[in-house]
Structure 1
Amino acid sequence: MTQPLGWHWEWVRPEPLEFHRLQRTLPRYRWWRPLLTVGLATVLYVVFTIIVFAVLGAVIALRTSTTGLLAWADALTTMQVTDPMTLAVLLGSVILMAPAVLLAMLITGMRPWRHVLSVEFRLRRRWLLWCLWPAVAVFVGTQALFTAFDAVGALVAGDVAVTTSATTASGWVGWPVYGVSVVVILLLVPLQAATEEFVFRGLLLQTMGGWVRPAWVAAIPSIVLFTMGHGYGWWGQASIIVFAITTVVLAVRTGGLEAGIALHVVNNLISFLVSATGLTGDDTVSGGADSPVLLFQELVLCGAYLWWVRAAAARCRLPNRYNPAAAPVPVWDATPVATSAPEELR
């Protein structure tokens, strides 16, 4: 006599998930919850920003005068990075996104929030520290290479007096002001860069990744919004797109934000340290970034760093996927199995 096995429980291990799909692992995940988180984080960020700027404006108005307040507002409008106060406010306004996002995630139940950091649900500090040195090497090497190309090109063209933005400008701010700017940059730029990675390559990428499987589709809103947050010219914006794509690829292929944070921190640190001197010919955040050379330079920099870091991650077998634990799943088995007949039927 035969009969089907019927329903029974089997331990099944779900398929590994890439970094951009990690929201699917959250116990309280629903399709609408990440959308609610993004909306609430936006509202909280606006509220935090209004409060901070209102307090700063009141303090400046009380300590100086209406003229001083207007001058400070003008410096903020033009985003002058040679002024330490303006620089601190600009960087701080970006950093405010981090508490807004964290608070929104806690309120909406997107826990544990560390899924935004890596497939190991933590910031892999040793990997982050290692990524800093190739970022420095590639950035400095690229700058030196293109500076040499500029010099050779000028000499070949017969321009003996090679002019660059650093030599034509005469706006040195002085050591006291620059010293304060250096302190502000060293303290706030790492937080600013990490915040942008946390928000754009973390929350936004994973929000879309919870809905769609292909990483390139999930990356589109993150790349678009990140690019819109910069005010460069056409070539400068194109270089930002290259940077955003690179950090998305790094996040997905290395399984975390660390490599992108390292590149972002080094890029912004060196850029701000140079711009804050006043010798670059443009003391605004956007700078004079509108040249096809800038795009080509960004392609070389990001390509070299991406190749270097991905090779290192493969060598050290860095986890880039999350492996969920096996769980009991009800399974219907219609395969007939032989059973013995009851005693009375024998």
Structure 2
Amino acid sequence: MGPTAWRDPLPPAGSEYHRFFRTPRNVWWKGVVAIGSFVVGYLLITSALTVAAMIIDFATGRAAWESVSTGAVEFTPALFLATNIGNALAIPLAMLVQWLVWGQPVRWLHSVTGYVRWRLMARSALIVVPLWIAYMVISAVAFPAPAGTPSGGGFTAESVALLIIMLLTTPLQAAGEEYGTRGLIMRAAGSWVASPLPGLIIAALVPSVLFMLAHGAGDPWLNVYYFLFGVTMSILAWRTGGLEAGIVLHAVNNMLAFGVVILAGQEINLDRSAGVGGAFMLVPMAALLIVTAVLVLFARRWQVQRTYQPISPA
């Protein structure tokens, strides 16, 4: 076997992002191996970092074993940092799996152009940030906190630490989730079906279900929200030919959500148990759909490249 016999060629010209692994030498088992390898690797990395953070918190007295048994685990700076770094490491993990399974250069994970389109990210941010702030204001007015809700313990040194961690690592955390789910898993699933429309449906459903399950919510409203979040990110990857717009929306959502809690001096305690959600979740779901639609419309207006186009040699 020659040194490049195991490598898959790049897809045919005109291939969309989610069909990038549908190459002339396509075999179904590569998608299964890729998804399985990524999930196992991701769980090992995040579990190891989480355990290390909790050991630090226990040793310093920041957390107690009783909090683990009751499920009321607060996001301390150590645990917040471990969670974000664990998700950020999904970027090199997804790249490694792509290279090992398909042998394609890792730069093609970014987009159909083979590079990160920073201008598209900046343009997307100019749209997403004001729209997402408007959504949060509307949500706060429509669903105000109940009277007597604790306002938090004030702005402390720990709040400053959480804010710095959020600013420096949350964009990477959001990007990691996009590279793993929409970058690797979406395209691995999209390689299974030859027909375009069924292939798109499978490519969107598989990562969206895994994204929902990864959040471990026990509330049906939250599960619907996480699934819809995954679907909208898949639509953005499909309609823009890459991960940039989805990363921006994902990062803005997470940073504003965490930022409001931190600046209010409150604990970051992600309670996803049954009964936490409700009809109010229709507001963020509607916001997701509206912002996604606006981004898709502008991407079309900007004539964003959506398909792979080989560069002819000079």
* Equivalent pair of 2:236/2:246 in contact (CA under 8 Å): yes
Cα distance in 2, alignment partners of residues 278 and 227 from structure 1: 28
Q: 2:86 pairs with 87, 93, 103, which one?
A: 93
Structure 1 residue 317, shift from structure 2 partner: 0.9
Q: 1:74 pairs with 60, 68, 71, which one?
A: 68
User: Which structure 2 segments of 5+ residues have no match?
Assistant: 1-10
Q: Letter of the aligned partner of 1:312 in structure 2?
A: F
Q: Letter of the aligned partner of 1:261 in structure 2?
A: I
Q: Which residue of 1 aligns with 2:15?
A: 17
Q: Structure 2-normalised TM-score? A: 0.81
Q: Letter of the aligned partner of 1:322 in structure 2?
A: Y
Q: Which residue of 2 aligns with 1:133?
A: 126
Q: Which residue of 2 aligns with 1:116?
A: 109
Q: Which residue of 2 aligns with 1:333?
A: none
1:210/1:47 CA distance change after superposition, 3 Å: same
* Equivalent pair of 2:239/2:306 in contact (CA under 8 Å): yes
Aligned counterparts, 1:175-254, within 5 A:
175-212=156-193, 213-214=196-197, 215-232=200-217, 233-254=219-240
Q: Letter of the aligned partner of 1:196 in structure 2?
A: E
User: Which structure 1 segments of 5+ residues have no match?
Assistant: 1-12, 151-162, 327-346
Structure with max Cα Rg: 1
Cα distance in 2, alignment partners of residues 302 and 29 from structure 1: 34
Relative contact order higher in (CA < 8 Å, ≥ 6 apart): 1
Q: Which residue of 2 aligns with 1:149?
A: 142
Structure 1 residue 322, shift from structure 2 partner: 1.3
* Equivalent pair of 2:31/2:192 in contact (CA under 8 Å): no
Identity of aligned residues (%): 26
Structure 1 residue 95, shift from structure 2 partner: 2.4
* Equivalent pair of 1:34/1:110 in contact (CA under 8 Å): no
**Secondary structure of 2:28's aligned partner:** coil
Aligned counterparts, 1:231-310, within 5 A:
231-232=216-217, 233-277=219-263, 283-286=268-271, 289-294=276-281, 296-310=282-296
> What are the superposed Cα offsets for residues 241-284 of structure 1, whole Å, 9 maximum, x if unpaired?
2221111111101111111111000000011112335666x741
Structure 1 residue 18, shift from structure 2 partner: 1.1
1:56/1:143 CA distance change after superposition, 3 Å: closer
Q: 1:36 pairs with 22, 33, 36, which one?
A: 33
> What are the superposed Cα offsets for residues 5-54 of structure 1, whole Å, 9 maximum, x if unpaired?
xxxxxxxx9551111101135x8754333332333333333443455456
Higher normalized strand content (fraction of residues)? 1
- Is 1:105–2:98 an aligned residue pair? yes
Q: Structure 1-normalised TM-score? A: 0.75
Q: Which residue of 2 aligns with 1:84?
A: 77
Please, what is the CA RMSD of the aligned residues? 3.1
Q: Which residue of 2 aligns with 1:5?
A: none
